Amino acid sequence: MKFYQAENYEAMSRKAAEIIAEQVKSKSDCVLGLATGSTPVGTYKQLVEWYNKGELSFAKVHSVNLDEYVGLAGEHEQSYRYFMQTNLFDHVDIERENTNVPNGLAADPEAECARYNKVIRDLGGIDLQLLGLGHNGHIAFNEPGNGFELETHTVDLTESTIEANKRFFESADEVPRRAFTMGIKNIMQARSILMVVNGEAKADIVCRAFTGPVTTDVPASVLQLHPNVTIVGDKAAMSKLVEAGVEVE
């Protein structure tokens, strides 16, 4: 695993965007696995800026997002489809039909999971998967205890995730209780993985995930087993890892 420590959120976002831009420039028809959450917002902003300057094109890129709330339409402001449209897709030249997010309104959730796995397979797999990190160590919506062998599936969100995500809704009651998520197996099959983390509140979980044992109790710990992972964090998020003696660039 490679660890980069950036001075602050802006520098973290720039570094992560550089890694994504390198991927797009070296393979213009690459498959990007994309993530939501507050952490990657700055990364997407930087990519949009480079696109506007004519330095980057997503014309041939395909994307697959990690997850979506069950029950939310793509037009709902808290849906992950809406997040992707407003933070990235609407501002760059990616083709709408080349972007994939699970359909939160799918009538048959099981069929939707199978369809999504097929989308990923038919694209030839993911070249670069971007990830955030949940406070309890979740990646996408793979909550503690979820099997590492799972592909796309639906999950019941934990209380801690509902609590963490309620800031985006009027109240905790409005946070959907279930979500579609790529499984750890889909994520681990990506050819490379880029995780972004920022803020002091993530310092403990970053340290646990990457210096502790590989365990389903901390889903992100599985990344220790992947051959090509880069973690880009700001100083605050990386602080405990550095204290634990892990070498960071």
Contacts of 117 (CB under 8 A, 6+ apart): 151, 152, 186
Give the interface with ligand GLP as residue ranges (CB under 6 A): 35-39, 66-67, 132-134, 140-141, 161, 165
Task: Supply the minimum distance, in Å, between the C-beta of residue 233 and ligand GLP.
Answer: 12
- Our CB check for ligand GLP shows the closer of 104 and 134 to be 134
In the set 67, 68, 112, 127, the catalytic residue is: 67
As a whole number of angstroms, the distance between CA 237 and CA 187 comes to: 22
Return the structure tokens found at 86: 């407003």
192: left (phi over 0), alpha (psi -120 to 50) or beta: beta
Q: Catalytic annotation on 62?
A: no
Contacts of 45 (CB under 8 A, 6+ apart): 13, 87
Angle, helices 203-211 vs 235-243, to 10°: value is 40
Task: Supply the minimum distance, in Å, between the C-beta of residue 179 and ligand GLP.
Answer: 7
Task: Supply the minimum distance, in Å, between the C-beta of residue 245 and ligand GLP.
Answer: 25
Q: Catalytic annotation on 138?
A: yes
Query: What is the phi/psi pair of residue 135, to 5°?
Result: -60, -25
Q: Residue type for 98, please?
A: N
In the set 68, 87, 100, 138, the catalytic residue is: 138
- Our CB check for ligand GLP shows the closer of 61 and 175 to be 175
- Our CB check for ligand GLP shows the closer of 23 and 165 to be 165
- Our CB check for ligand GLP shows the closer of 57 and 158 to be 158
When CB distances to ligand GLP are compared, the closest residue is 132
Q: Catalytic annotation on 136?
A: yes
Query: What is the phi/psi pair of residue 181, to 5°?
Result: -145, 140
As a whole number of angstroms, the distance between CA 13 and CA 19 comes to: 10
Q: Catalytic annotation on 52?
A: no
- Our CB check for ligand GLP shows the closer of 60 and 166 to be 166
In the set 98, 136, 204, 226, the catalytic residue is: 136
Longest CA–CA separation in the chain, Å: 49
Say if CB 234 and CB 10 are below 8 A apart.
no
* Active-site residue set: 67, 136, 138, 143
